[in-house]
A and B are shown apart, each in its own frame.
Chain A
Amino acid sequence: MATAARKSGDVVLKLENISLAFGGVKALSDISFDVREYEVRAIIGPNGAGKSSLLNVINGVYHPQQGTIMFRGKQRRDMDTHEAAAQGIARTFQNIALFRGMTVLDNIMTGRNLRMNATFIEQAIWVGRARREELENRRKVEEVIDFLEIQHIRKTPVGRLPYGLQKRVELARALAAEPSLLLLDEPMAGMNVEEKQDMCRFVLDVNEQYGTTIVLIEHDMGVVMDISDRVVVLDYGKKIGDGTPDNIRNNQTVIDAYLGVAH
């Protein structure tokens, strides 16, 4: 268990009384929780509990009707999706959302687009800043490629890769942005045991080496209990539990709603 060994810092993200509804469907009602710097925060719950909606609220895809979000001391409720990226929030998706027509390298380079400021005219002539930025960012991207051990596929179009590698490329694309907060939506769904182990290792390495705060949705309880510092449990859009893995494991409401008992 890595829990005790790692340091957790101040609260970087604080959600207060978030409610989100789509028409008559209440996806989230009155959710409050916080995320501390450097921690791995897991969100668990049955299907349809509102986990992905919660991530979408955090990075600005959905705008909650009620409640406030504090990120790094700034309060916000509504913002454009692309602004979240500028503030250092990156994410991966439950269903792989890679750019299928592009190579692995181009996908990951796209993750660094925000760091390229050359105008299209400079890029068209390929001089000065445009050229320099391409090379600098390529170097950073290669670091991420090395880190995630995907050197051998960097020139492959992502559509041709197997599922497990696509998931890894998606993580690489998110990491390339050098985010301070990384949202992972079921990074290990559909993987076999070895692939899950690899992915866990990468997630923990990211957390330790880069000091990235991680919010993660996962269904594999073994994984969640092993790698996360604190866990939030959702059910039907409501928060039913919040605490360390040990607390959650012994929380009767959570056991009833989600974990179940061994028979």
Chain B
Amino acid sequence: MLYREAGQFKASYATDQQIFPIRQDRIAVAALTALAFVIVPLVADQYWLSAILIPFLIFALAAVGLNILTGYAGQLSLGTAAFMAVGAFGAWNFVLRVPGMPLLVAFALGGICAALVGIVFGLPSLRIKGFYLAVATLAAQFFVVWALTKFNWFSNYSTSGVITTQRMEILGFAFDTPRAKYFLTLTVVVVLALAAKNMVRSSIGRAWMAIRDMDVAAEVIGIPMLRTKLLAFAISSFYAGVAGALYAYCYLGTVEPEGFNLDLSFKILFMIILGGVGSILGSFLGAGFIVLLPIFLNTVARPLENLLGLSLPPGLMSNLELIVFGGLIIFFLIVEPHGLARLWQITKEKLRLWPFPH
């Protein structure tokens, strides 16, 4: 089927302002959702579910969060992993300390803790911008990891702050298989991603983009700088916090504060740079790219090694990964600063006219 809007006439503003105004997009999204909910659990094996798909979804959620802050509101942040840590440790403590705490409520509360921390570290954004703000969020990164390690209360006095997540149960159903965890993660991610899409297409999203594009004009129009920026920090951190809780509960099972280090923050920043700054779809593309790239490199490198009769030193593989990462990021920043999502958009615009471009 061709990607074309021809013949799709909008007779009301309601149909023009649907979340996916083009019919082909609606079909594609519905098909992808069905695929993710029905087909994937049937065909994917344990390895795919727990080593690829679950982390992909979790990173995509964290990337959506960062994209709200950096891509839409224009506030550069290097503290995503810290907010994830707050979410993970927050949710864990709520389950631990409040008897009968429902799991999803604990995730949400973990996210709210992260949102509060995000607001505190977002306060400097009212005065400083760009790289200087990035440095301020870097402070969040180091402070949170330090605080979680230093104050043992957060990890219930375990050595070196390691926590092991409790058994997950919602309404009597135990989420202990990879498949069940996948369902839980997928549901949370789909709901929050749709919510993010709705926010960025309504007045709060426009306020964020206005501040990103021209802050003086935004203020003259009547957009309150303080509230809008802090709301971006809060919502972004909430997303990161929920992603962190899922990271602990559905992916790793055992986490320590050091696991939420600057590397993880950078990884998520790279996801939105590669995927597309200012695009919800881009967050997913970037996350998919960065989760799949090492696996792809591994599968390609082994046969290549055999074919050429070389034996690569084992350390080279992981370094190769970093080299390819670095190269790609430089490539994207130069060639397509709006990332994979922009490439997809260009493809769509071309497809609209294809095969008669004049």
Q: Which A residues fall within an 8 A CB radius of B? A: 59, 61, 80-86, 90-91, 93, 97-102, 106, 109-111, 113-114, 116, 118, 120, 123-126, 130, 133-135, 138-139, 142, 173, 177
Q: Which residues of A contact B16 (CB under 8 A)?
A: 138
Size bin of chain B's contact surface: 20 to 34
Separation of A59 and B219 alpha carbons in the complex (Å): 10
Q: Is B87 an interface residue (CB 8 A)?
A: no
Taking a contact as CB atoms under 8 Å apart, the answer to whether A126 and B19 are in contact is: yes
Separation of A124 and B278 alpha carbons in the complex (Å): 17
Separation of A235 and B78 alpha carbons in the complex (Å): 49
| A-B contacts at CB below 8 angstroms, number | 112
Q: 7 A-B pairs, CB-CB below 8 angstroms?
A: A61-B219, A86-B222, A106-B206, A113-B210, A113-B223, A116-B203, A124-B198
Q: Is B216 an interface residue (CB 8 A)?
A: yes
Q: Chain B nearest CB: distance from A100 CB in Å?
A: 5
Q: Which residues of B contact A84 (CB under 8 A)?
A: 220, 222
Q: Return the chain A residue nearest B12 by Cβ.
A: A135
Q: Which residues of A contact B217 (CB under 8 A)?
A: 93, 97-99
Q: Which residues of B contact A109 (CB under 8 A)?
A: 203, 206
Q: Return the chain B residue nearest A97 by Cβ.
A: B217
Q: Which residues of A contact B214 (CB under 8 A)?
A: 97-100
B209 contact from A91, A99, A120, Cβ within 8 A: A99
Q: Which B residues fall within an 8 A CB radius of A? A: 13-14, 16-17, 19, 195-196, 198-199, 202-207, 209-210, 212-214, 216-225, 231, 235, 278
Q: Chain A nearest CB: distance from B101 CB in Å?
A: 22
Taking a contact as CB atoms under 8 Å apart, the answer to whether B203 and A118 are in contact is: yes
Q: Return the chain A residue nearest B209 by Cβ.
A: A102
Q: Which residues of B contact A83 (CB under 8 A)?
A: 222
Separation of A91 and B205 alpha carbons in the complex (Å): 22
Interface centre among B203, B207, B214, B231 (most CB of A within 10 A): B203
Separation of A224 and B199 alpha carbons in the complex (Å): 43
Q: Return the chain B residue nearest A60 by Cβ.
A: B220
B220 contact from A81, A100, A101, Cβ within 8 A: A81
Taking a contact as CB atoms under 8 Å apart, the answer to whether B222 and A114 are in contact is: yes
Taking a contact as CB atoms under 8 Å apart, the answer to whether B278 and A82 are in contact is: no
Taking a contact as CB atoms under 8 Å apart, the answer to whether A138 and B13 are in contact is: yes
